[in-house]
Amino acid sequence: MTTTYDPVDARPRQRDHELRDRARRVIPGGMYGHQNATRLPAAYPQFMASGEGCRVRDVDGNEYIDFMCSYGPIVLGHRHPDVEAAARAQLDRGDCQNGPGEVIVELAERFVDVVDHADWALFAKNGTDATTTCVTVARSQTEKRKVLVAEGAYHGAAPWCTPAPAGVVPEDRAHLLHYRFNDLESVTKAVESADDDVAAIVVSPFKHDARHDQELVDPAFANGLRSICDDTGAALILDDVRCGFRLAHGGSWEPLGVAPDLSAWSKAIANGYPLAAVAGNDRFRAGAERIFVTGSFWFSAAAMAAGVATIDALGREDAVATMVRTGQRLRDGLAAQADAHGITINQTGPVQMPLMTFAGDESFELANIWGDVAARNGAYFHPWHNWFLSAAHTDADIDEALAATDLAFAAVATALAAR
């Protein structure tokens, strides 16, 4: 990354640097996965200390208005009082036991209640558990093998779906076929090539591949997938892991009127507590009853109590409408700032899960400068992964963050002028 703006970061960083040194000795690569901060510009901390509402603090005490929300889970704001109280009350009674707490029934009832297509639900820990289980249920029910996924889509970190080829053998993906999002013809072609052996079509509510401008779903595409699944008997699997409960108070395609057979959930469903869900309709109930899926911690009751409290608070607080309002305020503010600085940006995706890119910035050089300066000035965005609003962001928080982004745009303008 070339820095043509002032790279001096006067904030305290010592604790973060010490911890990074220690981590490099005992953790592969110093850190792994999506939270590896070495993938981010220098101003981003690796280690976080605390969070409250829409603000987080790093281990050196630097505070940020948080627009990543832990990469999605924090939908009501960090440490939402009702969710914390529900989780704590369950922890005090018992969390990990020989059987689930009664709260698992309550949580499944909430899912069936809130999610239109759901007749049943089962729970796990991570999004990968949920997407993988959806595929297993689909194959169990249909007794077919092929699974269609969109090119470039992320559905988790298991060998069948991880984006990194290391450690994966061709057999892990032997029955995957690809289509292009919003391109029904490419789906039809993939189905035709599958010789009547399609178990499932997996799709995300909109195209939210990292490092790419986002793309909303064409309703005709969603309806077309539903028809293809109806014609072939394949399961329509909606991967709602990233969007679930942020786009709508039920499944993310409910506003479109397109019902999947199975949906995968995680991230926001328990406001930061480790919980994932698979929801399904009655056609796939027998398939779900036949498979064996489980995990030592899949029945932990505290996260389920947090899940019930989260779903209730989302409805009570009209969280989606709040995020749409503040997300629009952020989008309008960024558009006005970019314009004032003479910079061309693209803002894509739903306003509560936005992504901003710079025109012609294929290597994300400008995005990195922008994110770096915004972070140094107390606003935590991401240069190339979609952001997340929470219901805890207020108009005043957005305006405060916009003061930081104005400095970030100024730095980008300086870098452009120096080219």
Q: How far is the CB of 154 from ligand PMP (least distance, A)?
A: 5
Using CB under 6 A as the binding rule, whether residue 77 contacts ligand PMP is answered as no
For residue 401, report the phi and psi dihedrals to the nearest 5 degrees: -65, -35
- How many residues would you count in the chain? 419
Using CB under 6 A as the binding rule, whether residue 273 contacts ligand PMP is answered as no
Q: How far is the CB of 124 from ligand PMP (least distance, A)?
A: 9
15: how many CB neighbours lie within 10 A of its CB? 15
Residue appearing with tokens 């994966």:
168
Using CB under 6 A as the binding rule, whether residue 154 contacts ligand PMP is answered as yes
Span 104-143, contacts to ligand PMP by CB under 6 A = 126-128, 131
Span 189-228, contacts to ligand PMP by CB under 6 A = 204
279: how many CB neighbours lie within 10 A of its CB? 30
Stretch that binds ligand PMP, among 152-160, 184-192, 251-259, 399-407 (CB under 6 A): 152-160
Q: Which is nearer to ligand PMP, 128 or 141 (CB)?
A: 128
Q: How far is the CB of 202 from ligand PMP (least distance, A)?
A: 9
Binding residue count for ligand PMP, defined by CB under 6 A: 13
Using CB under 6 A as the binding rule, whether residue 266 contacts ligand PMP is answered as yes
Are the C-beta atoms of residues 299 and 228 closer than 8 Å to each other?
no
Q: What is the DSSP letter of 78?
A: B
The CA distances from residue 283 to 35, 136, 288, 289, in Å, are: 38, 14, 10, 12
Q: How far is the CB of 164 from ligand PMP (least distance, A)?
A: 13
For residue 59, report the phi and psi dihedrals to the nearest 5 degrees: -70, -10
Q: Which is nearer to ligand PMP, 131 or 133 (CB)?
A: 131
Q: Which is nearer to ligand PMP, 207 or 393 (CB)?
A: 207
| Of 56, 47, 41, 38, nearest in space to 18 by CA | 47
Q: How far is the CB of 287 from ligand PMP (least distance, A)?
A: 21
Q: Which is nearer to ligand PMP, 125 or 139 (CB)?
A: 125
182: how many CB neighbours lie within 10 A of its CB? 19
Q: Which residues contact 52 (CB under 8 A, 6 or more apart)?
A: 77, 78, 79
Interaction pattern, residues 238-257, with ligand PMP; x per rule: CB under 6 A? -x-xx---------------
Partners of residue 122 on adjacent β-strands:
278
Using CB under 6 A as the binding rule, whether residue 386 contacts ligand PMP is answered as no
The CA distances from residue 35 to 119, 184, 305, 307, 395, in Å, are: 35, 34, 26, 23, 28
Q: Which is nearer to ligand PMP, 298 or 409 (CB)?
A: 298
Burial class (CB within 10 angstroms; exposed 0-12, middle 13-18, buried 19+) of 351: middle
- What are the residues binding ligand PMP (CB under 6 A)? 126-128, 131, 154-157, 204, 239, 241-242, 266
